[in-house]
């Protein structure tokens, strides 16, 4: 992929932060509103792919190493399975939601508040391990999808660079 015109690059510069913020919002509110790790991660990854398409793969080749992206993907996978095994060791069941109602210190709960039963507005401090798993899956999907498209862009433009 070669570089696109200046208009496209400027517009994608303007839109990219908005797309990223929206995707991170979908990931962070996965336990309150529709969406979650997979969906928000796909949104953020498509924003990154838009930048890649606008600036061309030669621009990205010098700046982004795909090995770091795969490291982030593996980190997300390890985080996800680690939280699941914490449920096994602390709560007794694989994928047990051990953080619900658990008071860590005096009055501090990490995502442990229990919402009022009924259709209410819950705060973000609820959900137990679900937000942690949403973050893990979001990291995994962002890094994984972007790494796949990036590596394919590099491979498709290798012939152009050799000429």
Min dist CB 23 to another protein, Å, is 16
State which of positions 33-52 bind another protein (CB under 8 A).
Answer: 33-34, 36, 38
State which of positions 87-126 bind another protein (CB under 8 A).
Answer: 94-95, 97, 100-101, 111-120, 122, 126
Alpha helix positions (H), the chain: 6-28, 37-55, 57-63, 66-86, 130-156, 158-162
The answer to whether residue 58 forms part of the interface with another protein (CB under 8 A) is no
Alpha carbons 39 and 148: distance in angstroms, whole number: 17
Q: Which of 39, 84, 67, 95 lies closest to 154 in space, CA to CA? A: 67
Alpha carbons 38 and 26: distance in angstroms, whole number: 9
Give me the residues that bind another protein (CB under 8 A), please.
30-34, 36, 38, 66, 70, 73-74, 77, 80-81, 84, 94-95, 97, 100-101, 111-120, 122, 126-130, 133-134, 137, 140-141, 144, 147-148, 151-152, 154-155
């Amino acid at each position: 992929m070669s570089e696109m015109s200046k208009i496209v690059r400027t517009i994608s510069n303007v839109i990219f932060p908005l797309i990223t913020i929206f995707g991170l919002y979908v990931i962070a509110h996965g336990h309150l509103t529709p969406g979650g790790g997979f969906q928000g991660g796909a949104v953020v990854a498509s924003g990154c792919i838009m930048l890649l398409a606008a600036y061309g793969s030669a621009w990205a080749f010098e700046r982004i190493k795909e090995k770091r992206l795969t490291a982030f993907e593996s980190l997300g996978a390890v985080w996800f399975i680690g939280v699941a095994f914490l449920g096994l060791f602390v709560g007794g069941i694989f994928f047990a939601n051990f953080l619900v109602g658990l008071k860590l210190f005096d009055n501090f709960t990490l995502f442990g508040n229990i919402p009022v039963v009924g259709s209410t507005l819950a705060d973000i401090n609820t959900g137990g391990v679900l937000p942690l798993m949403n973050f893990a899956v979001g990291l995994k999907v962002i890094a994984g999808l972007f790494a796949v498209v990036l590596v394919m862009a590099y491979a498709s433009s290798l012939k152009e660079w050799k000429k």
